[in-house]
Structure 1
């Protein structure tokens, strides 16, 4: 816009109003012409957001499944350890009983041997 030396206030105000309306009209036309691309960008952003959310949910499911699997493994390991400990105690008890029986048999054999020796000396 050419600046004249004798610009009255009303001239400046009308020029500013015209410039403002021209900018507003330019914005409106640009917005209407860009409407399809704006909608396409919004749709693309929505699909990206949906894919991101789906990936996040999948990661959470995988983490939850992994945690459940590890908990099941820990529980199975604890149960196996408990079974092994119980079996070890049972084996130790059986061994102790077998030793007691063997000791009793040895003591009886020794007693029978002494008895037989005594009978042999008397005869």
Structure 2
């Protein structure tokens, strides 16, 4: 013996089952719809274009990073060359001072006769 409450439950369960079946049929119909296929293809094209733009943007960023690294390396090499040039000039000046000192020493020795 079914109580009215149980009958109400059975009705709700059947209504839910019918609604799920109707939703499933609607989804199956959309799946085979050419317009839906066209929308999916359009979305896929948009996604592919977006990925291409992102890849191009990443490539440009990497290129900029490489160029910056090359510029910094060139600047560093120029600074090192300038420092090496300065060191070389200091060594040459020191050698010239030593040569002048030795020459004065030799001249003094020659004057003293000895």
Please report the TM-score for the alignment, with normalisation by the length of structure 2. Answer: 0.70
CA 1:110–1:42: 2 relative to 1, 3 Å = same
Q: Which has the higher contact order (CA 8 A, sep 6+)?
A: 2
- State the number of aligned residues: 86
For 2:31 and 2:40, the matched residues in 1 are separated by 14
Q: Is 1:108 the counterpart of 2:101 in the alignment? A: yes
Matching residue within 50, 60, 72 for 1:57: 50
In structure 1, the residue matched to 2:20 is: none
Runs of 5+ consecutive residues of structure 1 not aligned to the other structure: 1-35
Distance 1:113 1:39 in 2: 108
Shift, 1:39, TM fit: 5.5
Matches of 2:78 and 2:30, distance apart in 1: 71
| Alignment partner, residue 79 of structure 1 | 72
Root-mean-square deviation (Å): 1.8
Which structure has the greater CA radius of gyration?
1
Tell me the residue number matched to 2:85: 92
What is the distance in 1 between the residues matched to 2:30 and 2:101? 105
Moved over 2 A (4+): 36-39
Listed as ranges, the gaps of 5+ residues in structure 2 are: 1-28
| Counterpart selection for 2:63 from 62, 70, 80 | 70
Q: C-alpha separation between the residues in 1 aligned to 2:31 and 2:58?
A: 40
